[in-house]
Amino acid sequence: MPQKSPSPLHTYTVKPLQSGSVFSEISRRKTLGFLTGLLVSHPMLKAQDAKPVLIGIDGEFGLGNSTSAQAIEMGTRIAMHEINHAGGVLGGRPLDVVIRDHRSIPARGVKNIKELAAMPQLVAVLGGRFSPVVIEQLPILQQVRLPFMAVWSSADAIIDNGSKPNYVFRISLRDSLAMPYMLKSASQRGFDKVGLLLTNTSWGRSNQVAVDKYVAANHAPVIVETAWYNWQVASLVDRYLRILNAGAEAIVLVANDNEAALLVREVAALPASKRIPIISHWGVTGGRFFNEAGPALKDVDFSVIQTFSFFNARPAELQRFMSAAGAMGIKRIEDIESPVGVAHAYDAVHLLAKAIQQAKSTDRSAVRRALERMPAHQGLVRKYAPAFTASRHEAFDSQQLLMARYREDGVLVPA
């Protein structure tokens, strides 16, 4: 069930965390103790006239095996810890987070946005992994004029939504960047013939559009076969074999963790001569793909696109981040699940805080305008110079992209 709104003065809402997540593994009691200590120890948070400025998260918290929403929450809380200890915003108001769970269901996502928009102190919302949910939320976001930060979802239509003014901003991957990069990766590895295995959703169709544009302008690789599947499909091996038999030397996969793990297990069960490399979109990193795939992953050549790796982070920004993360039980970067979700949310909250300061207000329209007029900001993922403009609501470009692989211990590292 959705949480109730937080009490009006400085109550940090801590949602029960999904079993097995990074948060649950470091102990809910430790997290509550850290947050309680923060409230007691910092004089700025004792001020009775300093109402918190709320930022919402609408994510797939209740979805089985998901780690992406929890990662977004972690990045949000770490950034808020830093900002609040530095004095908060608007002369001493702390930031606080409100959690909503859409469980990957669009109708729940729409309901959540309506509830969040009704909270007077709420300035903006960070959205989670599933593009189909965000796309359904777009008309409501425009209607209620609520700034929305897409910090995981990648469908182009999320930003290219035709709204004027546009209340949606993205600190995340975009399919029209991701798909060309994955196809180039295939070409660079010598794969001239590629097959596509795509989810039959708006996310999959967004990637198909990106493929069509890329193929129209490039000679290689050649797309020899495209197969579509629905969520929670029982098997993918027939689609895989159809692509293989069409002459594909590699597969570009658009999937989340469950279906990707199923495919890996089925491919590993085939003779070695029938196993071709899989180049995957990043949805797999939003859940427990490594655990679901199991030992089969050792027998499959599997790589995944990312926008960021803590292993490549700038030393100064990484040290600052880890100092704050340490208070929440994160001692090593290997402890961080779904790293892009943590990093994107962390940067998004810092940018929102600067926009609030620049707007000198929590008025949502003023904050939206401020986001389009931001000064340069050195974030964890990149230097934003600036993050957005009036004509560009995408914070990333191709310079942030890399391919990654899972180590034997399940840690995602640059390939």
**pLDDT confidence of residue 341:** 98
**pLDDT confidence of residue 40:** 37
CA 387 from centre of chain: 17
Q: Kindly report, residue by residue over 303-333, the tens digit of the pLDDT.
A: 999 999 999 999 999 999 999 999 888 999 9
Same domain, 235 and 259: yes
Q: Kindly report, residue by residue over 36-78, the tens digit of the pLDDT.
A: 444 434 444 444 458 999 999 999 999 988 999 999 999 999 9
Tell me whether residue 265 is in a domain: yes
Same domain, 55 and 147: yes
Backbone Cα Rg of the chain: 21
Same domain, 185 and 160: no
Of 276, 306, 336, the one marking the end of a domain is 306
**pLDDT confidence of residue 49:** 56
Tell me whether residue 412 is in a domain: no
**pLDDT confidence of residue 231:** 84
Instruction: Say which amino acid occupies 405.
Output: R
Same domain, 316 and 295: no
**pLDDT confidence of residue 232:** 85
Per the structure, the count of domains in the chain is 2
Nearest to 406 by CA among 274, 276, 261, 240: 261
Whole-model pTM? 0.88
**pLDDT confidence of residue 4:** 37
Q: Dig out the tokens for 380 from the structure.
A: 């964890």
Q: How far apart are CA 147 and CA 141, in angstroms?
A: 7
Tell me whether residue 409 is in a domain: no
Same domain, 168 and 64: yes
Tell me whether residue 59 is in a domain: yes
Same domain, 256 and 244: yes
Q: Domain limits at 280?
A: 176-306
Of all residues in the chain, what percent carry a pLDDT higher than 90? Answer: 86
CATH number at 199 reads: 3.40.50.2300
Tell me whether residue 14 is in a domain: no
Tell me whether residue 404 is in a domain: no
Q: Which residues of the chain have pLDDT under 50?
A: 1-48
Q: How far apart are CA 269 and CA 122, in angstroms?
A: 50
Tell me whether residue 83 is in a domain: yes
Instruction: List Cβ neighbours of 321 (8 Å cut-off, separation of 6 or more).
Output: 78, 313, 346, 380
Three-state SS string over 43-77 comes to: HHHHCCCCCCEEEEEEECCCCCCECHHHHHHHHHH
Tell me whether residue 365 is in a domain: yes
**What is each CA distance from 206 to 40, 175, 264, 304, in whole angstroms?**
48, 7, 24, 18
